[in-house]
Amino acid sequence: MSADLVQAAIAAMAKAYAPYSKFPVGAAVRGASGAVYAGCNVENAAYPQGCCAETSAISALVLGGETRLVEVAVAGPGDHLVTPCGGCRQRLREFAADAVKVHICGPEGLRRTVALGDLLPLSFGPQHLGGEGG
């Protein structure tokens, strides 16, 4: 059920610290346990030190003792689909299979759902190094 994840991402968007871009983003990931972990973007006066919402949510997942995620939601403002940036696609891929659904949301709710493997095809991951991720 994605409704709770979508709502968590939208709620996280409202907590974003984005005084420079004025572009608040929220993200929520569901761990394999079923627990939901949310995050928001946290910008910095030294611009490159800012952190994406997806990265924050992944940190919460790991802090929660999980390293597998089974569903993702990202929420952002404006008319365009706010999809995860390239770096965050790779960060998500570390903990998720290609089939994992990524729900792209606006402030009003779900806009589109795509598979992580479609956002980052032919990706490099833990298996290349003998790991069990992905």
Cβ 91 to ligand THU shortest distance, Å: 10
Among 28, 43, 66, 104, binds ligand THU (CB under 6 A): 43
Q: Which of 33, 12, 32 is nearest to 95 (CA)?
A: 32
Q: Is 21 in the site for ligand THU (CB under 6 A)?
A: yes
> Could you give the residue ranges of the DSSP H alpha helices within the chain?
3-13, 53-63, 86-95, 116-119
Cβ 86 to ligand THU shortest distance, Å: 9
Residue pair 33/61 in contact (Cβ under 8 Å)? The answer is no
How many residues in the chain? 134
Beta sheet of 26-31, edge-to-edge order: 36-40, 26-31, 69-75, 101-106, 109-115
Cβ 66 to ligand THU shortest distance, Å: 21
Q: Is 52 in the site for ligand THU (CB under 6 A)?
A: yes
- Rounded Cα distance between 56 and 39, Å, is 5
Cβ 34 to ligand THU shortest distance, Å: 24
Our answer to whether residue 71 is catalytic in this structure is no
Tokens in use for 132?
Answer: 């069990």
Q: Is 50 in the site for ligand THU (CB under 6 A)?
A: yes
Among 9, 28, 29, 54, binds ligand THU (CB under 6 A): 54
* Catalytic choice (43, 54, 66, 71): 54
Active-site positions read 54
Residue numbers at the binding site for ligand THU (CB under 6 A): 18, 21, 23, 25, 41, 43, 50, 52-54, 84-85, 88
